[in-house]
């Protein structure tokens, strides 16, 4: 006999199939975007089964469509006087709960599919923080690697010369992401002010504290990820103390995930960059990593020059063959595939916490669940960065400046609350313990209700 509940679930699944298949037909050439949409849409099945009014309001058809996609040419002059041309993007996905908010990525792999996947995820992540911020993302296929400071500045100025038309403290507030750190944010902010003829610190976040940035913003994503995983580990009476941890990447998120994990007593034995990874059985010396990556803008392989116990291996995938209790992928999308996930499981991993956006493929996530590995999904676990960006906006508009400890404490409270909300939503909709479903549902409900309350938007 078919129960009433399975009938409504069937209707919800058919509805989601229709929306997803239509999207697939139109965007078959955008695999990252489809991957992100698929992961979120199907986890919302229990919501649509319980709340058919969302289907009647065509909520999914609306939410998968960005409010605006801006694509522009960025022409700039290199140090040899040659004109270079790159492509810039800003995807303003949803303003249902606040001004658009999301980072800028400068990396040669950037294209519309990647910016859309990141922008779509950002809607739910920003909602989860509990702060009034909508979802957006932007960037360029510009490669900052090997460029001089003067070239980076000219590129940032050219990029902002176009982008400034679409942003503002109450409209759209960009921030950093891969390839966009404090140096780039400074150049972008300077050009915005120059064009506007006004000082508007609330237009961009991730600024240095000396001109309107928030203390603890630099640390926020990495620290926040560890705070989230710390809560999750309590479920199995584990903690970072004494745990062996592998962290991929050696950029902003990785560096501060390593720092917090070490402060909590973990031994972090490996990290990487896009060329390869280092393994230090004695535990990574973070001061050396910071000197190489933050100060010298060098390569992670230089680490072994001063640490004879450590080894360097060319290529990124091998990092997941190192046995660990906790894996924190903090580099980029799809860095853990099914095979890497199986290797992690074979080596006894107990928890995976995503610092990067979408670092696990859908198949890798299936492997975690099939093997009872605790899984902290990106949109919840790495929401600390945008949460502190929103705190930076609050400080800018109040013309106040909080101490490091004040911001860090607020971050800790926010991450704990995100964790609790994910647990609660998962339980309420029949998927107890599944933080992926919990995060998607908790993030979605707030935006969905705001859209319904605001009429046809
Ligand atoms: P950074 O540019 O500071 O660091 C990225 C790190 O990942 C670098 O070590 C880089 O190596 C490595 N990397 C980049 N591409 C690849 C690749 N294809 N394969 C292997 N390694 C790679 O970026 P962030 O730390 O800011 O961002 C990392 C991730 O976290 C991204 O997914 C980003 O979207 C996400 N994120 C960032 C937030 C933030 O506040 N910064 C907030 C929320 C999410 P190399 O030096 O060789 O390029």
CA-293 nearest atom, ligand 1: 46
Residue located nearest, by CA, to atom 29 of ligand 1 = 356
Query: Closest Cα to residue 326, out of 258, 275, 399?
Result: 258
* Mean pLDDT, residues 114-142: 98
The position carrying tokens 């950002």 is 122
Task: Look up the CATH number of the domain holding residue 165.
Answer: 3.40.50.10860
Q: Are residues 225 and 327 in the same domain?
A: yes
pLDDT for 1 beyond 50? no
* Mean pLDDT, residues 413-418: 98
Active-site pick, 137, 267, 293, 446: 137
3-state helix, strand, coil in the chain (%, to 5): 55, 15, 30
Pocket perturbation via mutation, ligand 1, pick of 102, 228, 251 by most ligand atoms within 8 A of CB: 251
* Mean pLDDT, residues 154-160: 98
The number of beta carbons lying within 10 Å of the beta carbon of residue 397 is 12
Tens-place pLDDT, residues 327-365: 999 999 999 999 999 999 999 999 999 999 999 999 999
Q: Are residues 273 and 185 in the same domain?
A: no
pLDDT for 3 beyond 90? no
Residue located nearest, by CA, to atom 30 of ligand 1 = 356
Find the 45 Cα to ligand 1 centroid distance in Å. Answer: 32
- Ligand 1 close to Cβ of residue 178 (< 6 A): yes
Residues in CB range of 11: below 8 A, 6 or more apart: 48, 49, 52, 55
Are residues 395 and 214 in contact, defined by beta-carbon separation less than 8 angstroms? yes
CA-179 nearest atom, ligand 1: 2
Q: How confident is the model at residue 457 (pLDDT cuts 50, 70, 90)?
A: confident
* Mean pLDDT, residues 240-262: 98
Residue located nearest, by CA, to atom 46 of ligand 1 = 273
Q: Are residues 84 and 196 in the same domain?
A: yes
- Ligand 1 close to Cβ of residue 253 (< 6 A): yes
- Ligand 1 close to Cβ of residue 356 (< 6 A): yes
pLDDT for 284 beyond 70? yes
Q: Cα dihedral sign for 300, 301, 307, 310?
A: positive
- Ligand 1 close to Cβ of residue 122 (< 6 A): no
What gap in Å lies between CA 264 and CA 397, rounded to an integer? Answer: 34
Q: Whole-structure pTM over 0.85, yes or no?
A: yes
For residue 5, what pLDDT is reported? 59
The number of beta carbons lying within 10 Å of the beta carbon of residue 2 is 7
Arithmetic mean of pLDDT over the chain: 97
Q: Which helix (H) or strand (E) holds 270?
A: strand 267-272
Q: Are residues 41 and 100 in the same domain?
A: no
Tens-place pLDDT, residues 233-245: 999 999 999 999 9
What gap in Å lies between CA 448 and CA 427, rounded to an integer? Answer: 19
Residue located nearest, by CA, to atom 27 of ligand 1 = 178
Establish if 349 belongs to a structural domain.
yes
Find the 251 Cα to ligand 1 centroid distance in Å. Answer: 6
Q: Are residues 180 and 237 in the same domain?
A: no
Residue 44 carries which DSSP code?
Answer: T
Q: Is-catalytic flag, 125? A: no
- Ligand 1 close to Cβ of residue 177 (< 6 A): yes
Establish if 387 belongs to a structural domain.
no
* Mean pLDDT, residues 130-139: 98
* Mean pLDDT, residues 413-439: 97
- Ligand 1 close to Cβ of residue 179 (< 6 A): yes
Are residues 299 and 250 in contact, defined by beta-carbon separation less than 8 angstroms? no
Are residues 137 and 105 in contact, defined by beta-carbon separation less than 8 angstroms? yes
Q: List residues bridging with 100 in a β-sheet.
A: 172
Q: Are residues 60 and 158 in the same domain?
A: no
Task: Look up the CATH number of the domain holding residue 257.
Answer: 3.40.50.720
For residue 6, what pLDDT is reported? 81
For residue 2, what pLDDT is reported? 43
Find the 273 Cα to ligand 1 centroid distance in Å. Answer: 9
Q: Are residues 92 and 55 in the same domain?
A: no
* Mean pLDDT, residues 273-292: 98
Q: Are residues 238 and 372 in the same domain?
A: yes
Tens-place pLDDT, residues 188-218: 999 999 999 999 999 999 999 999 999 999 9
- Ligand 1 close to Cβ of residue 206 (< 6 A): no
Establish if 399 belongs to a structural domain.
no
Task: Report the percent of the chain where pLDDT is more than 70.
Answer: 99
Tens-place pLDDT, residues 43-94: 999 999 999 999 999 999 999 999 999 999 999 999 999 999 999 999 999 9
Residue located nearest, by CA, to atom 19 of ligand 1 = 274
* Mean pLDDT, residues 268-283: 98
Find the 229 Cα to ligand 1 centroid distance in Å. Answer: 19
Establish if 329 belongs to a structural domain.
yes
- Ligand 1 close to Cβ of residue 382 (< 6 A): yes
- Ligand 1 close to Cβ of residue 139 (< 6 A): no
Residue located nearest, by CA, to atom 43 of ligand 1 = 382
Establish if 445 belongs to a structural domain.
no
pLDDT for 20 beyond 70? yes
Q: Are residues 93 and 108 in the same domain?
A: yes
What gap in Å lies between CA 450 and CA 126, rounded to an integer? Answer: 14
Q: Are residues 255 and 348 in the same domain?
A: yes
- Ligand 1 close to Cβ of residue 385 (< 6 A): yes
Give the total number of structural domains in the chain.
3
Q: Are residues 76 and 30 in the same domain?
A: no
Structural domain including 126 reads 68-200
Find the 354 Cα to ligand 1 centroid distance in Å. Answer: 12
Residue 32: exposure state from Cβ atoms within 10 A (0-12, 13-18, ≥19): buried
Residue 274: exposure state from Cβ atoms within 10 A (0-12, 13-18, ≥19): middle
């Amino acid at each position: 006999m078919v129960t009433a509940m399975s009938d409504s679930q069937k209707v919800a699944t058919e509805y989601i199939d229709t929306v997803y298949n239509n999207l697939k037909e139109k965007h078959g050439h955008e695999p990252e975007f489809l991957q992100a949409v698929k992961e979120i849409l199907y986890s919302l099945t229990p919501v649509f089964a319980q709340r058919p009014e969302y289907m009647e309001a065509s909520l999914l058809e609306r939410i998968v469509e960005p409010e605006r996609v801006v694509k522009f040419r960025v022409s700039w002059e290199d140090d040899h006087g040659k004109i270079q041309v790159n492509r810039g993007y800003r995807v303003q996905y949803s303003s249902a709960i606040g001004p658009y908010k999301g980072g800028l990525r400068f990396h040669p792999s950037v294209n519309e599919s990647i910016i859309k996947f990141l922008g779509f995820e950002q809607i739910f992540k920003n909602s989860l923080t509990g702060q009034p911020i909508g979802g957006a993302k932007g960037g360029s296929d510009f490669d900052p690697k090997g460029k001089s400071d003067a070239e980076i500045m000219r590129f940032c100025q050219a990029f902002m010369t176009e982008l400034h038309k679409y942003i503002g403290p109450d409209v759209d507030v960009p921030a950093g992401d891969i390839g966009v750190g404090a140096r780039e944010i400074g150049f972008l902010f300077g050009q915005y002010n120059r064009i506007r003829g006004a000082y508007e610190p609330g237009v961009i976040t991730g600024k240095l504290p000396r001109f309107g940035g928030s203390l603890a913003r630099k640390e926020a994503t990495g620290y926040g990820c560890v705070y989230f995983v710390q809560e999750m580990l309590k479920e199995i009476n584990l903690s970072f103390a004494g745990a062996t941890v592998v962290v991929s990447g050696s950029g902003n998120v990785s560096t501060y995930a390593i720092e917090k994990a070490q402060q909590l007593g973990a031994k972090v034995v490996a990290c990487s960059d896009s060329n390869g990874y280092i393994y230090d059985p004695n535990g990574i010396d973070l001061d050396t990593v910071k000197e190489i990556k933050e100060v010298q803008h060098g390569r992670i392989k230089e680490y072994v020059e001063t640490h004879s116990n450590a080894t360097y291996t060319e290529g990124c995938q091998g990092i997941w063959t190192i046995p660990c209790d906790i894996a924190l992928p903090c580099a980029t999308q799809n860095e853990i595939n099914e095979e890497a996930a199986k290797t992690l499981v074979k080596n006894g991993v107990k928890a995976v916490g995503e610092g990067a956006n979408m670092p696990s493929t859908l198949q890798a996530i299936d492997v975690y669940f099939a093997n009872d590995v605790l899984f902290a999904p990106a949109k919840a676990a790495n929401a600390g960065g945008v949460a502190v960006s929103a705190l930076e906006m609050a400080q800018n508009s109040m013309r106040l400046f909080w101490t490091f400890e004040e911001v860090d404490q607020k971050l800790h409270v926010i991450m704990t609350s995100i964790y609790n909300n994910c647990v609660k939503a998962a339980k309420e909709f029949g998927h107890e313990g599944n933080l992926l479903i919990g995060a998607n549902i908790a993030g979605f409900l707030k935006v969905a209700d705001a859209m319904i309350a605001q009429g046809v938007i």
